[in-house]
A and B are shown apart, each in its own frame.
Chain A
Amino acid sequence: MIFKVDDKFERSFIVSNKIYEGFLSIFNDNNPLHTDQQFAIMNGFREKVMHGNILNGFVSYFIGECLPIKNVIIHKQEIKFNNPVYLNDNLFFEAIVTDVFESVNAVEFKFNFKNEALKMVAKGEIQIGIL
């Protein structure tokens, strides 16, 4: 097994305009919280809020592209959004192996995203299988 408990992986991601616009154009979630600055401000946010599920895209990239092996598949994933993410936020991602199940080639991680102020914006758990 290539993974062991407490293995840590780190990465940073920028929620760029390209990613934001791409998400909008592909999924058509044009809710005003994500597209209307005034609406977002009136609802207590600094500016329009990025879609939380953009972060799930980063998690997908991490599992698919950043691990030391490519023969992996996501079995299940949970995420909790703690604080808003804004356009051009630079997010620091950290994932730690919390459990390894060699009998079924499964590995569990806890992960979190923090913004530049080191405030947690999202955290979650993911289980992958090694093919």
Chain B
Amino acid sequence: MQKEEILRSVNNIFIDTLDNEEIILTYDTTADDVEDWDSLNHIQLVVAVEKKFKIRFTSQEILGWNNVGEMIDCILKKDI
């Protein structure tokens, strides 16, 4: 799966999870840029991403993300 394709899938997950059709993610998007991307919703986003791609992150991996691009790089490393 290509990086752009993953970005689109993750974008759809954000739209569904945060119930906001207007979300447009870029690799540089951070939690500060997305309304309602708070700590509780972060859990739901991670769970939804893990389910979608049938992967599991570690807590250390998640703590290392500074933006959406780093999340996607982490997904790519999971050999999906």
- A-to-B contact residues, CB < 8 Å: 75-76, 99, 101-106, 108, 127, 129
Contacts and interface: CB of A to CB of B under 8 A. Distances in A.
B58 A104 contact: no
A contacts with B: majority SS:
strand
Contacts, number: 33
A44 to B, nearest CB: 36
Q: What is the interface residue range for chain B against chain A?
A: 10 to 19
Interface of B: 40, 42-44, 46-47, 50-51, 56-59, 61-62
A108 to B, nearest CB: 8
Contacts of B47: 101, 104, 106, 108, 127
A75 B58 contact: no
Contacts of A101: 43, 46-47, 50, 56
Nearest 6 A/B pairs, CB to CB: A103-B57, A104-B43, A104-B46, A101-B47, A103-B59, A103-B62
